[in-house]
Amino acid sequence: MNDAASHALADDDETSVTLPSSCTLRDSLALKALLLDQLALGVNLLVDGSAVERIDTAGLQLLAASARDIGERKQRMRWSGASAQLRAAASRIGVSGLLGLPSDEAGPR
């Protein structure tokens, strides 16, 4: 990943994670490790995707798998922020709903 992603406990039952600016195939191993670390905590997940400048299917697929895993544990994943690029890409391949992302107002191009 290009940027150092950070995470911290938001409160007792929620952990937060900041997605790096690049969440592409090239960054996918590191992103998977980051998300696995968070999921291992077994709490709700607060994701900050406001810094995401580049994201592709590989990155979205990791987020989708995380969201589904969290959902299956009856926990929730919510967003403190999501960049336009992130929302547009997620909407384009139809994963906005699973991710619980705010809708991309401009709509996918």
Partner 1 sequence: MTIDLAQFQDAFFEESRDAVDTMEGALLELDAKGADAETINTVFRVAHSIKGGAGIFGFTDITDFTHTLETLLDELRGGRMALSPRVSNALLRSVDVLRTMLGAAQRGEPAASTESAALHDELLSIVAVGTCDGPTGTHAAAPSATSARPRVQDPARWSIHFRALPELLTRGNDPVRLFNDLAGLGSLEVRPDFERLPPLSRLDPEVCHLAWQLVLATNLPRDAIDLIFEWVEGDCEYVIEQLPASDTTAVDDPHPEEAAAPVDAVPAAAAPKRQPAADAGAQAKAATNGDAGSIRVSIEKIDDLLNAVGEIVITQSMLQQLAARVDGADAERLRHGLTQLEANVRELQESVMRVRMLPVSFVFSRFPRLVRDLAQRLGKQIRLQMTGEQTELDKTVLEKIGDPLVHLVRNSIDHGIELPDVRVAAGKPPEGTVRLHAFHKGGSITIEVSDDGAGLDRERILAKAVSRGLVDARDVLTDDQVHDLIFLPGFSTAEATTDLSGRGVGMDVVRRNINELGGTVELRSERGKGTRFIVNLPLTLAIVDGQLAAVGEETYIVPIVSIVESLQLRPGMVSAVAGEAEVFSFRGEYVPIVRLHELFGAPPHAADLFEGLIMVVEGDGRRIGLFVDALLGQQQVVIKSLESNYGRIEGVGGATILGEGSVALILDIPGLIRLASTRPPSRRVA
50 belongs to the binding site for partner 1 (CB under 8 A): no
As measured in angstroms, the least distance from the Cβ of 26 to partner 1 is 6
As measured in angstroms, the least distance from the Cβ of 98 to partner 1 is 4
C-alpha torsion 38→65→63→16, nearest 10: -20
As measured in angstroms, the least distance from the Cβ of 74 to partner 1 is 15
Tell me how far apart the terminal alpha carbons of the chain are, to the nearest angstrom.
26
Cα–Cα dist 91/52, whole Å: 15
Using CB under 8 A, which residues numbered 58 to 97 contact partner 1?
58, 60-62, 64-66, 68-69, 85, 89, 92-95, 97
Using CB under 8 A, which residues numbered 11 to 40 contact partner 1?
25-26, 28-29, 31-32, 35-36, 39
Residue pair 52/82 in contact by the 8 Å Cβ criterion: yes
